[in-house]
Structure formats: structure tokens, C-alpha cells
A and B are shown apart, each in its own frame.
Chain A
Amino acid sequence: MSAPESPTVQLSARHLTRHFVTRTPGKLRNDKRVVRAVDDVSLDLVKGHVTAVVGESGSGKSVLARMLARIVKPTSGELILEGTTIPSRAKRTLDYAAKVQLVLQDPYASTNPVHRVRHSLERPLAIHGAARGNIDALAKAALTRVSLEPPERFLDRYPHELSGGQLQRVSIARALCVQPNVLLADEPISMLDVSVRLGILNLLRGLCDDEHLAVLYITHDIASARYLADEIVVMYAGQIVERSHGTALVDEPTHPYTQLLIASVPDPSDPTSAATRGESPPIFEVAPVGCRFAPRCPHAMEICRTTDPPNFQVGDGHVSHCWLHADKPEAVVEVALPERRREGDTTKR
């Protein structure tokens, strides 16, 4: 295992916020509402680390990934790529795309069905200025990196001829072939068959460990986040509600929402899990007063309905956005992760 000596932050998000303006159907134009998809999210993607973002549908996790890829422009906040601040209004550039690549959920929808795999791989190479003579070799190398071997067998296939798992590997290869430093993976396994999911997770882990990529792994499956990630971040209604290094957040969840997420995972070894119950579907707080989770929270107190909680330090590198931990010191979140790698972990990775 070859962890980098000191954590190198590849990409930072500072106070990223994205609001979408909507109109109520059937009403006149002046009835504008603001959906706070992502609200004041700060995040560091570190070389050789997987950062997992966990949340339900509508928690803003995909919007966050798209802002990091600069497909969606933030309403406010800034991105810092390798120490250089990028103003939120600046246009997305080719240089940025060469450093930060995004892998999407459904590989059948994110590859062009009328083009061969070769096209999907060679086109980004051509756009990013690879020498024409090298393109074929680079495309093959990218397929080898994602364990699609021999690459010749896959280059001239069409997407429908590949299985979901193979095609997801192709889309990871497509992201890798421009040699990015940051890989953003938005629910890369949720559309895949159970038996191939682990293969993709292990591939992402390998890219991280062996090639020192910074990986952002977005998921709604907290068990897979625990399996893969060095840092786990839980999002609810656009905010980070709990974050921890390693598995602390899953092993000892401190935020009621994280507790709900964990209780919802089917877990036959725990007979009590079936008895736990969610309250009502998630809601977008249009003008949030107090904690966003308060309406669903079993522990909601008076203060939760009036004041948004600050972040409390509940453990080493473990931060909870909840008034229940008001006795703990307030946390300063914007620090790069200290060195910690899978303590007590006996894997052969």
C-alpha cells in the first residue's frame, strides 16, 4: 500500500451553492420559488483518497458533482483546482476538463449507441490534442487500465454488445484517457448488476491506490461508501449534515439522518432493522428556518425549528450538523484531511 506522504488536495470546493428558480405550475410568473439544491458545501478531494457523498434522491449530491465538473455553474462559492482559484462565473475550459472528469450513472445513456467503443475513447483524445499516431495506443491503454482485456476485443464493439459492467468500465476508461487527476463518479454502480458492482468499486479503489487519483464517489448506498471511502460525507436537502474520516460515521452515526439511512439498509444480520421507519418523503426547504431535517427528525427540539445548527466536532475528523451535540466544540471543517489510512485494516490492497 503506497499512500502519499502528505495529503495533496487536488480539488477544493469552498461554500459551493446552487439555487434553482422554479415557478409553481398554473401560477403567474411572479410566483417564483427558489430550490436550494446545494447550500454552502465545502469539500476537499485529496490525491489517493476516495471521498464518498451519500444521500437520498434530491439531496443535491448530483448537482454537487456537476458543479465540481463545472457543467452546472454555482450560484456562489468557488472551486480551487491545484491551488488556483476558479471564479464561479468563469467559463469551463478544456484545461479544467483534462484535470477533472465525470463518470455518470447509466453507461447505456452516457455512450453513443450508434458509435463503437473506439469512437467514445478516441474522441476525447483527439479533442484534448493527442498526437494522431498515438490515439489508438492510448485508447488501448485506457481499456487495459480498466481491465478490459484484450483491448482489441472491445474497441470495435457497439455499446449494446457489452454488458452493463463492461460498458461502465468503458465510460471510466473514457474519463481516464485524458489523464485527469480527479475522477467524479456519480452513482457508478447503481444501474449495474450486483455481481459486477464490486468489480467497479475495486477498480475505483485501485485507481486511487495505484495511480493516486482523487475520487469522488456519489451514492445512496451507505454500505458501499463504507467499503470504498476514506472520507464519507452525508448530504441532506443540499447541506452536509455529517462527515467523518474512515468508517466512524457508519459505525457510530451521530446525526439522526445518518441513523435513518443506516437503518434503512436491508441487513438480515440485524433483525431490528425491519422495525425502523422513515417518516415522510424528503422536502425541499424553500426558505429554510432551523434545521432542514427537523420535520422528519425523531429527536427534534425547539431550537431545531428556529436555528440552523453549526457543525459540532463529535470525534477525530468526525463532524455532525446537529443540535444534539451542542455540548461538543464547534468544528472548523475547511482543513485538508490528516493522514489516516484504514487503521486496523488487514486487506491485501
Chain B
Amino acid sequence: MTDPLHVRDEREARDSAATNTVDRPTSSEFVLEVRDFSVDYGVGSSMVRAVSDVSLNLRRSSVLGVAGESGSGKSTLVYAMTRLLRAPGVISAGNVMLNVTDDHGNALAPVDLVRANEKELRAVRWSHVSIVLQSALSALNPVLRIGKEFDEVLKTHRPEMNKTQRRERAETLLTMVGLDATRLDRYPHELSGGQRQRIMIALALALDPELVIMDEPTTALDVVTQREIINQLYELRTRFGFAMIFITHDLSLLVELADEIVVMYAGQIVERASALELYEAPRHPYTLGLLNSFPPLHGARRELTGIPGSPPDLADLPAGCNFASRCPYVMERCHQEEPRLTALEEGGRSVSCWLQVSGASASVPVELARTPRVKRAHPTSEEAVS
């Protein structure tokens, strides 16, 4: 098989005609399918299960938000499924199917990232799946000029490009993320935090990937810069139609950006729903707690409590529901049986909580039984690309 990476000729044309990238014919509806995925740290008696039994599908050109506290396993999940996790992290179960296409929109054979060898991974990384890390300062080489970073990527993955073409491509990318092309001659320390993060985004998009993973890209930035970057990402996503996995602890940010959100707690998905439904009608007490942890900008000031207590020790998980000790609605059953992620009757969403199981003895608290308004804050991915 010829390497699909080295046959892209119409790349410049694609950049200028922005719309023709988004209607790639697709083999599968989903760009990423994760099944029963578990990740451990360590082996044997000292083993800790950081991600437990996670399944999810990522639709093409859609944005999946992953929310949770530190230690909830959100970063571990994403690093493990892209095989970036280092020892002592071990993938102990499950598979991750990546369905990508070549330049001409032809579907390539699905790759199981869990079983892929280094060569197969190398073919996929950056050109099909790229990542933006939280700390741009530590992700950029401090002794290289920005231009060199772009040059190296393109040199490796696009050997057919000459020096001038590489430079031009880098300039295009920088303009795309709203930076002046002269920044290519700067060193990372000469740029502000927001500019560095834009560089990281431009680098991630350098090879026109189908999936971009964002690991808390705006956490270290202040609100105004964060807003600019989020708007930029939204624009780029609409233009190029890549799918995104966005990890953050800021749920209100995710509600604005994501199509679908999964909330993780102690290594498990406790709730998944479309962004607006999750915001307006959370079904899991933990989601409700997270949403109530942000002081509002409007309305009367009242005392908020956040979520009492702290996350459980993964090495010593309680019997029953992991959230039981912090849950305001805890019942007898929560301490005995562990709830599983179950699809709800209202469709399209699932939750792992005994309160929401039909026929449960207790009545559902009113906060967890709201009906969402039928309205979206921004167009869905399908509308955005059509």
C-alpha cells in the first residue's frame, strides 16, 4: 500500500476553497469509536483503574466535550486512546477504531489504535489525528524559532514540498489562526500565552487532520484571550470540518462549544447528553454540582456550595456508586449497587444514576427532572457545514 500521506497535491487549492473539505464522502458516520475502554496505572496489587469501561462514538465534524475534575480520568482517557500514554499507564481492555479517509475522500481501512504498531500509528498521527496540549510554553521548543516547528512537521510528512512551499504553508496557517506571518521568526518566549496557544492550534491543523484533540487549551489563559481562541476554533471547525475532542473542567465553556458532552467522574462516564440538554436539564447529581460551581453573571447573588468533599481515591473505591459520599440525593441503594451508564427514555442521552432508573423507588428531585428548552445556542455541526 502506498503511503496515503505522500500523495496530497491539491492541498493549496483546498485551503483557498474552504468549503470543499467538509463534504468528504465517509465510510462510517463516526470518525472514532471507542468500545469498553479501560486504562490502568501500574500492574498487580498496586494497580489503579483510571478509566473504566468507557464507550463513546465521535461523529464526523462534531465536537465532543469531556468534562470532569482533576483525577477524573479525562486526560488519561484521551491520551490512552491516542496511544500517547506513557508507562505506568496500561490499556487493559477495549478497542478504539479510527475511521479516516485519504485526501480524495476515499475511506481507508479502519485502524484499531489499541493494536496498531508504531508504523501504523505514525501514519495516523498528526495527519489524521492531532493534539493541542495545555501548556503551549512547554510544548514548543524554546530554542527553535516558530517557523522551524512548522518546517519540521511539513518536511517529515510532506517530503514533496520544497522550502518555499513549506514557508508559504506555514504563513497560511498562521494567518488562519489570526497571527501575523512575521511571528514565524520569533522564539516562543517572545510571544504571549494566547499567541503561543494559537501557534499550537495552527501546528495541529498543519496537515489538515480529521480529528483534533484539545487538552485544556485555554485553561492557562485569561477570559478575553480564551474567548478569542474559542471563537477562532469555532470558525476553523466550521471552515475545515474536523471533529474535535475538547477536554476541560469548565462546563460552561463546553456548553457553548460542544455538540455533545460526556461528564467523567472517578474514571467513568456518569452522564452524556447533547450540550444544551446537559446544561438545561442535567440528570446526574454530579453534573448538577459542576454546573452550580460557577457563580452566575446575572441574577440575585446567593450562596453557592459547589460539590462538598473531594473525589474518591481510585485505589480504594467504595462499594456502590463512586459519587455516593458527595451526593446530596444519596439513597440506600447507592451504597450497595453500582449504577451503570444507561440510556434514558427521552433518547439520545444516558446517565449512570439510580435516581434515573425507571421504576426506582425514590422520586427524582426536581433539579434533576427539568425539561430542556428546544433551542440551540449555535448551529449544530450539520447546519454549520451545509
- CA separation between A271 and B226, bound complex, in Å? 17
Given that A163-B310, A164-B70, A196-B310 are known contacts, is A347 also in contact with B223, CB under 8 Å in the complex?
no
Interface residues as binary, A245-282 with B (CB distance below 8 Å gives 1, 0 otherwise): 00100110000000011111111111101101110011
Q: Which of A251, A262, A281, A342 has the most CB of B within 10 A?
A: A281
Chain B residues with CB under 8 A of A250 = 297
Flag whether B296 is at the interface (Cβ < 8 A).
Answer: yes
- Could you say which interface size class chain A belongs to? 35 or more
- CA separation between A313 and B99, bound complex, in Å? 61
Could you tell me if A56 and B192 are in contact, using CB atoms closer than 8 angstroms? Answer: no
Could you tell me if A342 and B301 are in contact, using CB atoms closer than 8 angstroms? Answer: yes
Contact of B305 among A202, A224, A267, A273 (CB under 8 A): A202
> Closest approach, in angstroms, between the C-beta of A208 and any C-beta of chain B?
13
Interface residues as binary, B295-330 with A (CB distance below 8 Å gives 1, 0 otherwise): 111101111111100100000000000000000000
Flag whether B69 is at the interface (Cβ < 8 A).
Answer: yes
Inter-chain pairs besides A193-B249, A196-B310, 9 sampled, C-beta below 8 Å = A56-B223, A56-B224, A57-B193, A164-B70, A194-B251, A195-B306, A263-B227, A266-B253, A266-B256
- CA separation between A197 and B293, bound complex, in Å? 8
Flag whether B250 is at the interface (Cβ < 8 A).
Answer: yes
Q: Which of B250, B255, B294 has the most CB of A within 10 A?
A: B294
Q: Closest B-chain residue to A276, C-beta based?
A: B227
Flag whether B228 is at the interface (Cβ < 8 A).
Answer: yes
Chain A residues with CB under 8 A of B256 = 266-268, 273-274
Chain B residues with CB under 8 A of A269 = 296, 298
Q: Which 8 A-B pairs have the closest CB atoms?
A: A227-B295, A198-B306, A264-B227, A268-B255, A195-B307, A266-B253, A220-B222, A271-B377
Flag whether A308 is at the interface (Cβ < 8 A).
Answer: no
**8 Å CB contacts to B: which residues of A320-349?**
342, 344-349
Chain A residues with CB under 8 A of B289 = 195
- CA separation between A260 and B228, bound complex, in Å? 11
Contact of A194 among B226, B293, B305 (CB under 8 A): B293
Flag whether A285 is at the interface (Cβ < 8 A).
Answer: no
- CA separation between A274 and B226, bound complex, in Å? 11
Could you tell me if A223 and B303 are in contact, using CB atoms closer than 8 angstroms? Answer: no
Q: Closest A-chain residue to B228, C-beta based?
A: A278
Could you tell me if B300 and A346 are in contact, using CB atoms closer than 8 angstroms? Answer: yes
- CA separation between A248 and B292, bound complex, in Å? 23
- CA separation between A268 and B224, bound complex, in Å? 16
Flag whether A15 is at the interface (Cβ < 8 A).
Answer: no
A-B contact pairs, 15 of them (CB 8 A): A56-B223, A165-B310, A194-B69, A222-B297, A223-B296, A223-B297, A227-B304, A228-B295, A264-B224, A266-B256, A267-B297, A268-B256, A274-B378, A281-B225, A349-B303
> Closest approach, in angstroms, between the C-beta of B334 and any C-beta of chain A?
19
Could you tell me if A226 and B255 are in contact, using CB atoms closer than 8 angstroms? Answer: no
Could you tell me if B223 and A221 are in contact, using CB atoms closer than 8 angstroms? Answer: yes
Flag whether B290 is at the interface (Cβ < 8 A).
Answer: yes
> Closest approach, in angstroms, between the C-beta of B270 and any C-beta of chain A?
13
- CA separation between A195 and B227, bound complex, in Å? 22
Chain A residues with CB under 8 A of B228 = 277-278
Could you tell me if A348 and B224 are in contact, using CB atoms closer than 8 angstroms? Answer: no
Could you tell me if B255 and A347 are in contact, using CB atoms closer than 8 angstroms? Answer: no
Flag whether A199 is at the interface (Cβ < 8 A).
Answer: yes
> Closest approach, in angstroms, between the C-beta of B323 and any C-beta of chain A?
11
Q: Closest B-chain residue to A348, C-beta based?
A: B303
Could you tell me if A226 and B297 are in contact, using CB atoms closer than 8 angstroms? Answer: yes
- CA separation between A224 and B293, bound complex, in Å? 10
Could you tell me if B223 and A268 are in contact, using CB atoms closer than 8 angstroms? Answer: no
- CA separation between A165 and B54, bound complex, in Å? 28
